[in-house]
Amino acid sequence: MKHLTVLTITLLITFLTNAQDSKDAYLENVKTLNSTLETLYAVISGEKGEARDWDLFRFLFHPDAKLIPSGKNREGKIGARFITPDDYVNSSGNYLVENGFYEIELQREVDTFGNITQVFSTYESYRSKNDKEPFMRGINSIQLLNDGNRWWVLNIYWMQESEENPIPEQYLPNKN
């Protein structure tokens, strides 16, 4: 019995140490605004069948963060859904892996005041990195907090481009 208790405690310490090592490794991903945003796009992107690092995805977000897709519903009414990062993983995670999905940032507009930052990030979505044309474009409105040690994603509020609402030129890359 004593041997079993020691073994259980050893396994628990090993598990907790490995979990902490993973979080320590993830800190590089949230050290700067740029690394946080690059990680956000990279962690959801991958070829069909390619696993995503959902622990890293969750690590990007503040514990109270929301993801807020907006647009017209099936009845044609404009609205928004409020979901947690876990809700996103549970509702979209398998789809991204089964179908392939790449979201590429085209342009970024950044406004910062003190420890808060608002980013308007224009994106294109592809099924594979080899695709020539995106199947979707839109804008992510990303709110972030810098607590002095790292960046936290507080909210991502997004809308897909449509014929009714094309992306304004000011949010597209300069064609010069």
Rounded to two decimals, the pTM is 0.85
Express each pLDDT in 56-70 by its tens digit.
Answer: 999 999 999 999 999
9 lies in a domain?
Answer: yes
pLDDT of 137 strictly over 80: yes
33 lies in a domain?
Answer: yes
Domain hosting residue 13, numbered range: 2-168
| Cα distance from N-terminal residue to C-terminal residue, the chain | 74
Burial letters for 80-94: b for 16+ Cβ neighbours within 10 Å, e otherwise?
eeebebeebbeebbe
The CATH number assigned to the domain holding 100 equals: 3.10.450.50
- pLDDT for res 20: 54
- pLDDT for res 4: 57
174 lies in a domain?
Answer: no
25 lies in a domain?
Answer: yes
pLDDT, averaged across the chain: 91
**Token pair 């009845």 in the structure block, residue:** 75
CA of 71: how far to CAs of 75, 85, 130, in Å? 11, 19, 28
Number of domains in the chain: 1
- pLDDT for res 174: 82
44 lies in a domain?
Answer: yes
- Nearest alpha-carbon partner for 144 in 121, 103, 112: 112
